[in-house]
């Protein structure tokens, strides 16, 4: 039986390195993007959450504090062949719990057009009109915690 765990991990840990590979392969390389050294240094102050199955990172996301109330969720990704198995939902629910524990009251995110319905099912609300970011149509979304 597969064991699934959701964890808050340390920047620079082995799990963090696995999450970087996953984010790079699924989210960045298809758009011709790469992590810069500056990007990775900035991530030291962010919250890194992963889903582990049998010790392997199969999903991850990053929470970036915006101010005392608002935290931005970004770089949400699940291994493609494991999508639609509850990993993404579990990560989002875990991220919301972590954000509440850290004192945040709002989560915002920029959802790719293809993920908008997923977030709506988790009670995120669209804010404003769509916009293009990294060549893809996105929607600003938010949820009160």
Over residues 9-66, the pLDDT tens digits come to 999 999 999 999 999 999 988 888 888 888 888 899 999 999 999 989 999 999 999 9
Average pLDDT in the chain:
94
pLDDT over 80 at 2, yes or no:
no
d(CA 98, CA 80): 25
Q: What is the pLDDT of residue 41?
A: 85
pLDDT average, residue stretch 92-121: 96
Burial of 4 (0-12, 13-18, 19+ CB in 10 A): middle
Q: What percent of the chain has pLDDT over 90?
A: 82
Report CA-CA distances (Å) from 133 to 56, 59, 120: 30, 22, 20
pLDDT over 90 at 75, yes or no:
yes
3-state SS, residue 34: coil
pLDDT average, residue stretch 70-74: 97
Indicate the pTM of the whole model: 0.94
Phi-psi region of 84 (alpha: psi -120 to 50; beta: other; left: phi over 0): left
**What are the structural domains, with CATH classification, of the chain?**
4-144 (3.40.630.30)
Residues contacting residue 19 through CB under 8 Å, at least 6 positions apart: 9, 48, 50, 57, 60
């Amino acid at each position: 039986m597969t064991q699934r765990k959701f964890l808050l991990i340390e920047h620079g840990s082995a799990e963090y390195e696995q999450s970087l590979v996953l984010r790079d392969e699924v989210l960045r390389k298809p758009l011709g993007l790469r992590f810069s050294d500056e990007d990775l240094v900035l991530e030291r102050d962010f919250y890194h959450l992963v889903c582990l199955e049998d010790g392997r990172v199969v999903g991850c996301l990053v929470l970036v504090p915006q101010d005392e109330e608002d935290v931005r969720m970004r770089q949400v990704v699940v291994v493609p062949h494991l999508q639609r198995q509850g990993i993404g939902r579990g990560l989002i629910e875990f991220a919301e719990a972590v954000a509440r524990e850290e004192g945040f009251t709002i989560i915002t995110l920029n959802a790719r057009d293809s993920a908008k319905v997923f977030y709506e099912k988790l009670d995120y609300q669209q804010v404003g009109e769509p916009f293009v970011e990294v060549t893809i149509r996105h929607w600003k979304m938010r949820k009160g915690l």
